[in-house]
A and B are shown apart, each in its own frame.
Chain A
Amino acid sequence: DGGITQSPKYLFRKEGQNVTLSCEQNLNHDAMYWYRQDPGQGLRLIYYSQIVNDFQKGDIAEGYSVSREKKESFPLTVTSAQKNPTAFYLCASNGGRAGDTQYFGPGTRLTVL
């Protein structure tokens, strides 16, 4: 089955620790996206990548980093510089053309203790 996988589903970390969230897709999509979701805030774009080895900051990139070494993978690192990292993180992908539907993974809920 084609789709997007995110792991783990739930993640707990101590304050001050970096943590990496995984996102893998087998849809052969060129573009991948990371969003943060907080209650009542909708989805906000963190980073996106339209091609391997290239990525752009979204609206709330501070305190996050990404890499895109393979077409299938777009991991997100939440660094200790992110002031309020507890949130639901969603990964998506599409063909990278205007109007293309974005397909979403199941999400990772990160809780920082």
Chain B
Amino acid sequence: AQSVTQLGSHVSVSEGALVLLRCNYSSSVPPYLFWYVQYPNQGLQLLLKYTSAATLVKGINGFEAEFKKSETSFHLTKPSAHMSDAAEYFCAVSDQGYSTLTFGKGTMLLVSP
């Protein structure tokens, strides 16, 4: 079964610093990969997704992620954190041929002034 590992349940950065949230998946075949953001007591919002068109994927709010097959990784980055980026971030994977998603446990991003 597919699995997703997000390293670090909490990540703290200062406003203006680089954001790096890590995601590794287990599939041997390149899957579809997603990053979602969740604000407290709300649903999930798609940040970006990888569907094999390009290895560097740009999303909303200045986020981007790079698919690295050799490392089975799909890390999320943003050059400069903003206070409004404080939220929980989830990486998810879908195998080829399936519409269901397997989620990581999430990483809470804390942004300090």
Contact = CB atoms under 8 A, between A and B. Distances in A.
Given A107-B41, A107-B43, A102 B101 contact: yes
Interface of A: 4, 31, 33, 35, 40-45, 48, 50, 58, 88, 90, 92, 94-107, 109
Nearest to B43: A104
B80 to A, nearest CB: 26
A106 B95 CA distance: 26
B98 to A, nearest CB: 6
A99 B41 contact: no
Interface of B: 9, 32, 34, 36, 41-46, 49, 51, 90, 92, 94-106
Contacts, number: 65
Contact of B104 (A35, A42, A48, A94): A42
A41 B102 CA distance: 12
A42 B49 contact: no
Contacts of B32: 98-99
Contact of A101 (B46, B90, B95, B102): B46
A42 B104 CA distance: 6
Given A41-B105, A42-B105, A50-B99, A99 B42 contact: no
A40 B43 contact: no
A106 B43 contact: yes
A45 to B, nearest CB: 6
A23 to B, nearest CB: 11
A98 B104 contact: no
Given A88-B41, A94-B99, 9 more contacts: A33-B100, A43-B103, A50-B99, A96-B99, A99-B32, A101-B34, A101-B49, A106-B42, A107-B41
